[in-house]
Amino acid sequence: MRRPVLSALAVMGIGMAAFQQPARAEGTMATPAAAVEAREEPGKKIAIFAGGCFWGIEAVFSHLKGVSSVVSGYHGGDKKTAIYDVVGNGNTGHAEAVRVTYDPAKIRYDQLLRVFFAVGANPTQLNYQGPDHGTQYRNALVPMSVEQKRVAAGYLAQLKRLDLWKQPIVTAVEPYKAFYPAEGYHQDFAANNPDHGYIRRWDAPKVRALKTMFPDLYKPMFTRN
């Protein structure tokens, strides 16, 4: 399923009756603190997450303390196919993803993982999230270092042992290939289009859930690029 995007009417949230349902957070989960904590060297780090529509994942991470940049983009395919309308065909190998720049002295990688699984993506949904279906909407972790890979594997194993979702976790750990920033109109999308029907229905509830579930990590200001 393709999101009804980016005509002038859609960006204003007009003509989208199918998405004007009462907003509620989909699939939030009270995830535990990680048993395997990240031990990263000082200095800004980068993490990549794929969790369905990148608008919502960008919005969630953009409201976290210690995060200085969140870029929406494509990971897993080739540069020539890193185009929104092409990725939407579902056969490019790309996933809609976000590149998060963070300070591990303020927020650790394992805390980013905890938030991601709590309010960002449902790890039991294979090649879809909510209303969006296709391989481009798969949920995946893309470690950018040996330490991130260690922590990601530890947290996934922890979640699987706990059986919180009562369905198998299908989140993949994918090797980094290349990240291609999405088109400019996708960047800061939730901040620029708060009344867009899709944002109101699916993504604003995630941010509200973040504020409620992680008050110590939440910041009200959206981190713009």
Q: For residue 53, indicate whether it is catalytic.
A: yes
CA atoms lying within 13 Å on the CB side of residue 191? 17
Torsion sign, CA atoms 209, 215, 220, 224: negative
Please check whether residue 25 lies inside any domain of the structure. no
pLDDT per residue over 96-137, tens digit each?
999 999 999 999 999 999 999 999 999 999 999 999 999 999
Q: How many domains does the chain have?
A: 1
3-class secondary structure, 53: coil
The predicted pLDDT at position 27 comes to 73
Please check whether residue 5 lies inside any domain of the structure. no
3-class secondary structure, 161: helix
The predicted pLDDT at position 179 comes to 98
Low-confidence ranges of the chain (pLDDT < 50): 1, 4, 6-24
Q: List the CATH number of the domain containing 161.
A: 3.30.1060.10
Q: What's the rounded Cα separation, in Å, for the pair 146 and 109?
A: 12
> What residues make up the domain containing 105?
32-189
10, 34, 48, 53: the active-site residue: 53
